[in-house]
Amino acid sequence: MTRPIVWALGVTAAAAIWAVGLADRFQRPAPERAAVATPLAERSQPSALRSGPSTVTLFADAQGHFSTDVTIDGQRLRMLVDTGATTCAFTYEDAERAGLRVSERDFRVPVQTANGVAMAAAIRIPEMRIGTITVQGVNGMVMPRGRLSTSLLGMSFLKRLNEFSMNGGRLTLRG
């Protein structure tokens, strides 16, 4: 007598778990396709979901990469999250747009990149913001013109968060 009841409860529990997972899939926004190639002004879907006062959830793109819009001095920049980068690295053009000015003589810090050693300019960003998360006094590097295709959000920002975690194609940042 109790076996059919236990079996029915098990089937009901499995169906409920499946339904929650299915509902979550339908509620998740589609990831952006060509995030690097699409200008900021043309983006219609957000790449981040604000889920709390200081929590931002990023969704992986088709290649499994996480990108986000970062605000520096009122300017939005698209950055690729790179946990393998010790510091935040900016393209020369993004640095200029964000008001992070460097001169030719500032490029004196040797940096190991995937393409060999390059000379970078060390900078300190007064404030960086992703959604509701703000981090002040972030160390970074500006790469010479043409040496970096996308700015990288590295560990000099990420390690200043309370927590960051990845699960199921989502990267959750907690400020």
Domain ranges of the chain: 1-30, 40-174
Query: What does residue 47 show for φ and ψ, rounded to 5 degrees?
Result: -95, 0
Per-residue pLDDT 10s for the chain (175 aa) are: 555 554 444 434 434 444 434 334 334 444 433 333 323 333 333 445 555 569 999 999 999 999 999 999 999 999 999 999 999 999 999 999 999 999 999 999 999 887 789 999 999 999 999 999 999 999 999 999 989 999 999 999 999 999 999 999 999 999 9
Cα-Cα-Cα-Cα torsion 118, 122, 124, 129, nearest 10 degrees, comes to -10
Q: Confirm if 47 and 32 have CB atoms less than 8 A apart.
A: yes
Closest alpha carbon to 80 in 114, 110, 118, 126: 114
Q: How is domain 40-174 classified at the CATH fold level?
A: Cathepsin D, subunit A; domain 1 (2.40.70)
Distance, in Å, from the CA atom of 139 to the CA atom of 128, rounded to the nearest integer, reads: 11
